[in-house]
């Protein structure tokens, strides 16, 4: 199907419900892939531009849920515009970009997909080794690119998506014309704690914005369980748990939905069989730190590859890592931008400014 000739179809492919340990008690967890599809369809109904939503099948038969947006109202340029590819963060999905997709697809194709193991994409097993788990994510992105048929792209990743986008760009630099990292996870090294007899030096070493309460709660169980196990273990109280600890998601999208649509979306994305979060756990020393910090590898990006790092001014992710990247790359084609009055979910907190900045970056490419 040609995305330019389709009119916002939502793919009706059958989705196989999982039959794992977590799904043999269906009345306990009020979720299913069908319910996720239903709430996502409501979200995507807000899109005005031309939407092609479908599963992209990889060579190993894993399926990646993919959106392609185009604007038929704009005449095709003589030289096609480089597509923008958007990669969500941990526990997210394509629906979280709802405030950005229309604007960013005004003059170029935009692709967004659910990472392997998240959202509506396939949920295969992940290895427990950090390097192998990371590579499984990256391989799926490259196989997705090949299956979709993109020669190159402007690659944007948020949080975990930023970490994986960087790893991808290191391994496949010819495919990335500009790398945009939005509040990326996993860049700094975990600080070493200091002895109690030298509290001043220790306090200086670990100084960083305080994570929100929901991050601390998840961090308290991540070493024992998969990060989102509490949502599944809560059974019928799971949706209420998400509403209680993530009321910000309802507020961020309240101009689009006056109900629990977005928190229901978050719940159904993460109450399914754990897969991507298993990979994330393998890559994590704790929720705020990566076992293989990206600051140790970012020098492997080609100096000629433009890199822009966007941070929310009020985010719990420390933007100092961005300035460290500038130093590592000797300021070559590297910028750090702070978005005022935005927290970790920059794209939803300040969508107009986020869209303006990203659109400007894209226009600098072509």
Q: Is residue 6 part of a domain?
A: no
Please give the distance of CA 77 from its chain centroid, rounded to a whole number. 30
**What 3-state class would DSSP assign to 194?**
coil
Q: What residues make up the domain containing 170? A: 33-364
Q: Is the pLDDT of residue 261 over 60?
A: yes
Q: Is residue 17 part of a domain?
A: no
The pLDDT of residue 206 is: 37
Q: Is the pLDDT of residue 237 over 70?
A: no
Higher pLDDT pick, 27 / 335: 335
Per the CB < 8 A criterion, the answer to whether 95 and 153 are in contact is no
Q: Is residue 4 part of a domain?
A: no
The pLDDT of residue 281 is: 92
- Condensed to tens digits (0 to 9), the pLDDT of residues 162-211 reads 999 999 999 999 999 999 999 999 999 888 754 444 444 333 333 445 66
Per the CB < 8 A criterion, the answer to whether 153 and 177 are in contact is yes
* Helix spans in 107-159 (H): 130-148
For the ranges 40-44, 208-212, 244-248, which has the lowest average pLDDT? 208-212
For the ranges 67-71, 230-234, 314-318, which has the lowest average pLDDT? 230-234
Mean pLDDT of the chain: 85
CA distance 69 to 112: 9
The pLDDT of residue 215 is: 64
CATH number of domain containing 260: 3.40.50.1820
Query: What is the percentage of the chain residues whose pLDDT exceeds 70?
Result: 78
Torsion of CA 29, 222, 205, 134, to 10 degrees: -100
CA distance 353 to 338: 11
Give the Cβ contact number of residue 148 at 10 Å.
16
Give 300's pLDDT tier (boundaries 50, 70, 90).
very high
Q: Is residue 40 part of a domain?
A: yes
Per the CB < 8 A criterion, the answer to whether 88 and 114 are in contact is yes
Q: Is the pLDDT of residue 236 over 80?
A: no
The pLDDT of residue 77 is: 75
Higher pLDDT pick, 141 / 191: 141
DSSP class of 80: P
Higher pLDDT pick, 40 / 12: 40
Q: Is residue 184 part of a domain?
A: yes
CA distance 334 to 366: 18
Give 238's pLDDT tier (boundaries 50, 70, 90).
low
Give 12's pLDDT tier (boundaries 50, 70, 90).
very low
Strand order in the sheet with 176-182: 50-57, 63-70, 110-113, 84-87, 153-158, 176-182, 307-312, 334-339
Q: Is residue 61 part of a domain?
A: yes
Higher pLDDT pick, 287 / 138: 138
Number of domains in the chain: 1
Spatial CA neighbour of 66 closest among 113, 4, 120, 105: 113
Q: Is the pLDDT of residue 358 over 90?
A: yes
For the ranges 117-126, 245-254, 355-364, which has the lowest average pLDDT? 245-254
Q: Is residue 164 part of a domain?
A: yes
- Condensed to tens digits (0 to 9), the pLDDT of residues 60-103 reads 999 999 999 999 887 777 788 999 999 999 999 999 999 999 99
Give 249's pLDDT tier (boundaries 50, 70, 90).
confident
Tokens of 121: 């994409």
- Condensed to tens digits (0 to 9), the pLDDT of residues 262-291 reads 988 988 898 888 999 999 999 998 657 899
Tokens of 335: 């910028």
Q: Is residue 5 part of a domain?
A: no
Per the CB < 8 A criterion, the answer to whether 231 and 242 are in contact is yes
The pLDDT of residue 3 is: 39
Q: Is the pLDDT of residue 45 over 70?
A: yes
Q: Is the pLDDT of residue 240 over 80?
A: no
Give the Cβ contact number of residue 155 at 10 Å.
29
The pLDDT of residue 2 is: 38
């Amino acid at each position: 199907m040609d995305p330019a000739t389709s009119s916002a179809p939502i793919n009706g492919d059958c989705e196989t419900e999982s039959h794992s340990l977590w799904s043999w008690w269906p009345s306990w967890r009020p979720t299913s892939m069908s319910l996720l599809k239903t709430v996502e369809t409501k979200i995507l109904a807000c899109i005005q531009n031309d939407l092609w939503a479908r599963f992209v099948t990889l060579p190993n038969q894993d399926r990646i849920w993919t959106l392609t947006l185009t604007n038929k109202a704009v005449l095709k340029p003589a030289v096609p515009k480089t597509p923008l590819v958007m990669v969500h963060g941990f526990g997210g999905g394509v629906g979280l970009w709802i405030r950005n997709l229309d604007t960013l697809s005004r003059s170029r194709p935009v692709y967004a997909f659910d990472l392997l193991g998240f959202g509506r994409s396939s949920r295969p097993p992940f290895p427990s080794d950090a390097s192998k788990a990371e590579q499984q994510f990256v391989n799926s992105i490259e196989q997705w690119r090949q299956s979709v048929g993109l020669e190159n792209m402007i690659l944007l990743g948020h949080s975990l998506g930023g970490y994986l986008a960087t790893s991808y760009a290191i391994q496949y630099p010819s495919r990335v014309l500009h790398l945009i990292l939005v509040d990326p996870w996993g860049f700094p090294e975990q600080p070493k704690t200091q002895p109690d007899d030298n509290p001043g030096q220790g306090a200086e070493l670990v100084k960083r914005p305080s994570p929100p309460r929901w991050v601390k709660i998840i961090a308290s169980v991540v070493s024992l369980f998969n990060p989102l196990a509490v949502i599944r273990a809560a059974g019928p109280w799971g949706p209420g748990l998400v509403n209680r600890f993530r009321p910000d998601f309802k507020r961020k999208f309240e101009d689009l939905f006056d109900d629990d649509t977005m928190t229901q979306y978050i719940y159904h994305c993460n109450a399914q069989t754990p897969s991507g979060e298993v990979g994330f756990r393998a890559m994590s020393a704790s929720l705020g730190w990566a076992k293989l910090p990206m600051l140790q590898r970012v020098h492997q990006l080609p100096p000629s590859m433009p890199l822009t790092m966007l941070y929310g001014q009020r985010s719990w992710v420390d933007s100092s890592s961005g300035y460290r990247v500038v130093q590592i790359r000797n300021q070559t084609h590297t910028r750090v931008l702070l978005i005022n009055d935005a927290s970790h979910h920059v794209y939803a907190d300040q969508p107009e400014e986020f869209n303006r900045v990203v659109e400007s970056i894209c226009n600098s490419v072509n």
